[in-house]
Structure 1
Amino acid sequence: MPVQTTAAEIKMLGGSAMRALFTEMMPQFEKSSGHKVTIEYGTLGANMDRVMKGDAVDLVVVTSGQNERLQKESKLVAGSRAELAKVGYGVFYHASAAKPDLASVDGFKRTMLSAKSIALGDPAGGGPVGVYAAGLMQRLGLADGVKAKTKLYPSGTQVAQAVGKGENEVGIGLVSDVAVTPGLAAVPLPADIQNYTVYTLGIPASSKN
């Protein structure tokens, strides 16, 4: 006797930087599975906060470190960790502008200090790039020198869009944003200060499916 499956309505918290990937993937998944997926996009910090508070969602995108913490707090189903992507960081610039020289850490410092304006993710939002960039500026002694010309944005997507539109001269974000942001180009950070975000998918303990 054939097994009948019931189509489910799946509520998912997605990372803003994964919007392009999910936009391509989800229609295929819905067609093959019969399930309906509703995705709310936000920063990974906001996603983590919602799961910590027990919001009724079925899937959540967070960093690998956040996934580990949520499992320790019993906020994610034990063992629910699927790695989606590992993405490096880079300096954004407009595609029509000269390519920044990031062959060394000194080159990165010169680029930041000479830029007329800088777009960064607001570290208060908990996004991994914004948090890392804020710490990097402090560590390299750049924080005071760039503070007056830095604009903070709620998400990495908005950082990429601001540079792509020419609203800010440079920014720091995920190099993958170049593929989905008109007018944007990027150079990876020098190896000595490079960092990566590992995106994972987990199942909250509050899931109804």
Structure 2
Amino acid sequence: MKALKQQLAALTIGLCTLASAQAEQLDVMTSGGFTAAFQRLSPTYAQTSGDTVDTILGPSMGKAHEAIPNRLARGENADVVIMVGYALDDLIKQGVVDPASKVDLADSRIGMVVKQGAAKPRIDTEEAFRKTLLDARSIAYSDSASGVYIQNKLFKQLGVEQQVGSKAKMIERIPVASVVASGQYEVGFQQVAELLPVPGVTFVGKIPESLQSVTRYSAGIPRNAKHPEQARKLLAYLSSAAVQPEVNATGLDSVPR
């Protein structure tokens, strides 16, 4: 605890030295999985650095108007993008993001929720999880990385693709937990960090580790960013050891370093 406090103090002192420089507004595009962590961390960074942070939300991929690649393609400004690692890699290959700026931030695992007050089914083993899927009247999953994995791989791996196909639905744009909370779907799957902030649901747990698809969230700086130097300092803060307790509290796992 003492060491952590010392790290935080040193980080705060370092950030405070930035406050004397000209303050800038940083436009940060972040996808769902890291959003809760960023919303915890960005006020502290803004207060100590003197910069202001404008948070712009959007999925890492997909056809939605709000998706980060689509925003960038339309010419929207971003000083930092935070998104699924392989989606960021695509932007790097396209020449949109500076490859030298890439920083790994956190790992995210898939979890399940039911409506608040409903019984919590077992999902602690592969067989129990398979039974829960077969017994569920309706299943919702996201349109981002976790949902793509569930739809294209997980159902097939468990041998339930035919049985659940007609009752499973990919939910676009909005949090999966919200449609479970409203009673539209009985169970919902998404990355844990995207499930926990939504009211009206009960978090059942993470799916079995043998069936997990771990999504790494990374960040980078677009080549046309207006404030690349300030962006690099923000990324150093977000990936520092001192902020990991806050990151972990949102349901994310620290990246092994």
Using the size of structure 2 for normalisation, the TM-score is 0.70
Q: Which amino acid aligns with 2:94?
A: E
Q: Contact 2:176–2:195 at 8 Å: present in 1 too?
A: no
Q: Of 160, 168, 178, which residue of structure 2 is paired with 1:142?
A: 160
Match of 1:63 in 2: 84
Match of 1:191 in 2: 209
Q: Distance in 2 between matches of 1:165 and 1:87?
A: 25
Q: Contact 1:7–1:35 at 8 Å: present in 2 too?
A: yes
Q: Contact 1:61–1:200 at 8 Å: present in 2 too?
A: yes
Q: Distance in 1 between matches of 2:22 and 2:39?
A: 24
What RMSD in Å do the two structures reach over aligned CA positions?
A: 2.4
Q: Does residue 37 of the first structure (1) align with residue 18 of the second (2)?
A: no
Q: Distance in 2 between matches of 1:160 and 1:206?
A: 35
Q: Contact 2:104–2:216 at 8 Å: present in 1 too?
A: yes
TM-fit CA distance, 1:85:
1.6
* 1:15-52, Cα deviation, whole Å (9 max, x unpaired): 12333222222222111112121111111112234346
Q: Contact 2:33–2:217 at 8 Å: present in 1 too?
A: no
Q: Of 90, 95, 98, which residue of structure 2 is paired with 1:77?
A: 98
TM-fit CA distance, 1:177:
3.5
TM-fit CA distance, 1:58:
0.9
Q: Which amino acid aligns with 2:40?
A: E
TM-fit CA distance, 1:103:
3.0
**Which runs of no fewer than 5 residues in structure 2 stay unpaired?**
1-16, 62-66, 228-257
- The alignment-based identity, stated in percent, is 28
Q: Contact 2:32–2:194 at 8 Å: present in 1 too?
A: no
Moved more, 113-122 or 95-104: 95-104
TM-fit CA distance, 1:175:
2.0
Q: Does residue 169 of the first structure (1) align with residue 186 of the second (2)?
A: yes
Q: Distance in 1 between matches of 2:207 and 2:37?
A: 23
Secondary structure of the corresponding residue to residue 43 of structure 1: coil
Q: Distance in 2 between matches of 1:176 and 1:37?
A: 21
Secondary structure of the corresponding residue to residue 57 of structure 1: coil
Q: Contact 1:54–1:75 at 8 Å: present in 2 too?
A: no
* 1:156-176, Cα deviation, whole Å (9 max, x unpaired): x52022223433211111123
Match of 1:201 in 2: 219
Secondary structure of the corresponding residue to residue 166 of structure 2: helix
Pick closer, same or farther for the CA change 1:170–1:130 going to 2, 3 Å.
same
* 1:154-197, Cα deviation, whole Å (9 max, x unpaired): 14x52022223433211111123443122331321112211111
Q: Distance in 2 between matches of 1:17 and 1:133?
A: 16
Q: Contact 1:100–1:187 at 8 Å: present in 2 too?
A: no
Q: Contact 2:36–2:194 at 8 Å: present in 1 too?
A: no
Using the size of structure 1 for normalisation, the TM-score is 0.85
Match of 1:112 in 2: 133
**Which runs of no fewer than 5 residues in structure 1 stay unpaired?**
none
TM-fit CA distance, 1:53:
6.0
Q: Contact 2:134–2:160 at 8 Å: present in 1 too?
A: yes
